Structure 1
Amino acid sequence: MHASTIRIDTLPVVLSIAAVALVCVAAVPWLWDRWRRPAPGRTGTTVVAVLMVVVACGLAVNAAGSFYPTLGSLLGTSPNPEEGTVADAGPDGRDLGRTLPAVTGRAADGHGSLLHVTVTGRRTGLTRDVDVYLPSAYTAPDWAGFRFPVLEWIPHFPGEPRQVATLYGLPDLLDQQIASHRLPPTVVIVPDPNGEPRLTHDSECIDAVGGDADDTYLSADLRSWALSRLRVRSDREGWAAAGWSSGGYCALNLTVRHPQWFSVAVSMSGYDTTPQDVETGDLFHGRADIRHANDVSATLREHPAPVRLLVCADGAAGDERAALERMRAAAAPPVELTTWLLPPNGHNLNAVRAELPAVLGWLDAQVGQPVDGTGAPGQVTPGVVPPWPLPDTGDPGSLHGTDTTA
């Protein structure tokens, strides 16, 4: 039995653990004077009782908020990284051609296809799971030769690509939005921003000092791979990023750090600065310049670029509202900042599913249409938006200065 098959959000599980917690609490006074060695016995039963109460409360909150349905989703592990996809296109998408008949068959019924690949970064050497959504138009004869806009969707911590399909239901929603002309046919790339193990490895999508160059992988490496394997647009107006929670911060940070490649970002219940906690550890190791270069509000103020941002915050979440206000204060033309202060709904997957249709509707007016792609894809449309000089983390392959080599 794998962790991904163990449900932790059901009422029987919550009630069972609550019952165990009550027994442990009752055992503390009942055993208090019965221990041969009172000190270790009393300490042990008290600690166990407290831990079980914490676990029971955590499971109750998780079930109420629909955060993590299985133990595997909590731990961020899966025995099947292809879960939720319709085919495996192989390492670096080498078998993409073999999957296209299945993609075409689904397109006949108006469905896009979510494919699984692993992508090894040309610059960083990192290998990660990546899911790719191809809209039904991708294989349609009328769209032959067209290059499609790209939405890079960043999963939340400790999430992974499969959760965007299995928990968010994003592919079905994309099908609906595209079919009703509320979103142009769009290729959606869903990368793994962390790799395994996930539970104590929250990369925050940055090039960490002395760590992995996750920012470079998610920007330069994935872009280079997509341009070489997929019919996607190469200009910045054809690329957007989005995500929820930590994925929202990632989307904002990638976009404002690399405005030469991204023009649009959406943050759903995200923030504007990288935390330092038990999950992230110390990503900066005393480098104030690297921390500052990953502060979204500081970048908006000091390196304004023509990016269009949507920042959503729960009305009852003080930290989300504070981040939204900091970005409001920092943003000035040519930045276009749209902010949504939403009714209190909690920081959970139910809120994500409720907000997604409106978010995709906002993206409809921001993401470019497919374009005739009979010419060479290129890397960057010349002279559109210059990169700003990024500090050097010292990690092999990481972007720094004004290097835009993908």
Structure 2
Amino acid sequence: MVSVGVVDEPVNRAYDIISTLCLLCNLSAAILATYQGFQVKHGLLLREVERWTVLFFAIDYVLRLLTAKELYTGKTEKGAICAYILSFSGIIDLLSFLPYYLPIFFPSGAAVFRMFRVIRIFRLFRINNYYDSLNVITEVLESKRQQLLSSVFIICILMVASSLCMYSVEHNAQPQVFTDAFSGIWWAASTLLTVGYGDIYPITPLGKLLGIGITFLGVGMVAIPTGIISAGFVEQYQRLKRIGDYGGGSGIHFIHFFLEKKDAWCEKAIKELELPGDLRIVVLKRKNQVIVPRGDVRMHAGDELVLGAEALRDESPLDLTEVVLHEDHPWVGKEIRQLDLSRQTNIVLILRPIPSTGNQGSVANLSTSERKALEENQAQNEHPSPGENGSVGRGRKVRKMLPRGDSKLQCGDTVVLYHNDKRSFLEEHRF
């Protein structure tokens, strides 16, 4: 719930909301405390808000230490705790409450410790785990880290060179302004970064000419990191688009189904399932929440699962064919065992339209095994037919029935056949 909880359980989401609200209340109290009038009237309330929210941060830190093994699964318990303490999040979590209690032991450093309380605002970066837009920013900065460091290094070199040049030119004319190299660095930083505070500026002709050149150079240098980040965003969104295109049109198909209480997968964690290597659970939908199926996510009745696997390729020897039975079809009224099929042809599925209220008599004509199959599949096997290649019309609901030898085919059924040679099958059976 603390270390890896996201939105897959209500208790996890509630904890995240409480943590964020405590942080917002703490920051609001710190801001309102700077207003003298509000501090006089509601000083006690502000101090109580800060005390209880900081206590929550301390408890949260302890809980994260205890559950660090869940976050760093590949490490030992001590190694996971050390990894969390030394991580960016661990340092921010520690500094979010420690400066509040340090003045109790070190009263002389109260002013310095109060300054460190501002660091707790960085706890808001935990929202980065929940929103893809912030994740994109993080991934872009991470992928372009080397280029950004190179551009910053170039800017630093230009800043030092510009400061030394300006100090050499302006020191004799303005000894009180350009007193040392650091004064030149301050001017170079404000000029190269196009800020231009105006407190330090050249007055000699050579200094002004040098300042013009450095200003133009600064515009170009500042544009380099901006261009790198912009290119990173373009590459990131193109990559996401390629992934979407790959999933949608390059041989990956998805199927979905709902879990019921009687299903074997109910109340099991995803990591406990024995799935084939090429089959993946890609999405788990629970009510209005879409959950990323991590290994520790436990499935419940009513969940909607989406499975992904490689689609059947055209060059594959496997073939599935849909045959719609019309009134004049020779299979209508026959049992499956009475059909004259090739040994390489098998009926793998029967899609039967759900009879309307006025056609309940057709159900009475079914065999015992067919009625049993309909009863077993009534709740969980309804879906709209694709309505392609003459199959059942779009939008009509059908029942999926497993074929049995005594199953009698009816007009309107869609029979799904498997054959390993489509050409020979079509030559044998003209539909």
- Bin the TM-score by the shorter chain: under 0.3
TM-score (norm 2): 0.22
Larger RCO (CA under 8 A, 6+ residues apart): 1
